[in-house]
Structure 1
Amino acid sequence: DKNRYFGPYTDSQAVYKTMRVIRDVFQIRPCDLAFDGIHHIRPCLYYHIGQCSAPCAGFVSPEQYRSQAEEVASFLEGRSRDVVKRLKERMAEAAEHEQFEEAARLRDQMAAVERLSEQQRVLSTRMEEHDVIALATDDGSACVQMFFIREGKLIGQEHFFLEGAENETVEEQLQQFVAQYYSDAPYVPREVLLPLGFDEMHIMESFLRQKRGSKVVVHTPERGDKKRLVELAASNAGYALKEQMGRLAVRLTRAEEAMAALQDALELPGVPHRIECYDISNTQGTGTVGAMVVFEDGESKKSDYRKFKIRTVIGPNDFAAMQETLSRRLAAAKELRPGFERLPDLILVDGGKGQLNAAKEILDREGALIPIAGLAKRDEEIYLPGRSRPLVLSRDHRGLQLCQRLRDEAHRFGITFHRKLRGQSALKSLLDDVPGVGVKRRIALMRKFRDMASLSKASVEEIASVKGMTRTTAEAVFHHMRDLIASWSDFPEPPAES
Structure 2
Amino acid sequence: MFYENPFNIMMLKDKIEKAPERPGVYLLKDKKGKIVYIGKARNLKDRLRAYTTTQEDPRKTSLINRATDLDFIVTNSEVEALILEENLIKINKPKFNVRLKDDKKFPYLKITVQEKYPRIFPTRNLRSDGSILFGPFTSAKALRKALRGVKRIFQIRTCNKKLPNPSPLRPCLNFLMNRCLGPCQGTVPEEIYRERVNNVIAFLQGKENKLCNELEKQMFEASANEDFEKAAILRDQLMALREIMRNQPSFFSDRVARDIFGIAKTDTLAFATRFKVREGKLVGKEEYPLTLAKGTKDSEILESLARSIYTHTFDLPDEVILPVELEEEVAEPLIQWFKAQRDRSVKIYRPQRGAKLRLLNLANSNAEVGLAEIVPVPKIHQANLDLQHFLGLPKPPRIIEGVDISNISGKSATGSIVVFHDYYPYKPDYRLFKIKTVTGPNDYAMMEEVLSRRVKRQIKENKPLADLVLIDGGKGQLSTAIRAYQKTISESGNPIPMPVMLAFAKRTDTLYFEDGRAISIPASSPALKLLKRIRDEAHRFAITYHKKLRGKTLFLSELDGLVGIGEKRKVALIRYFGSLEKLKLATVDEIAKVKLIGKSLAEKIYEYLHET
TM-score, normalized by length of structure 1? 0.48
Q: Which has the higher contact order (CA 8 A, sep 6+)?
A: 1
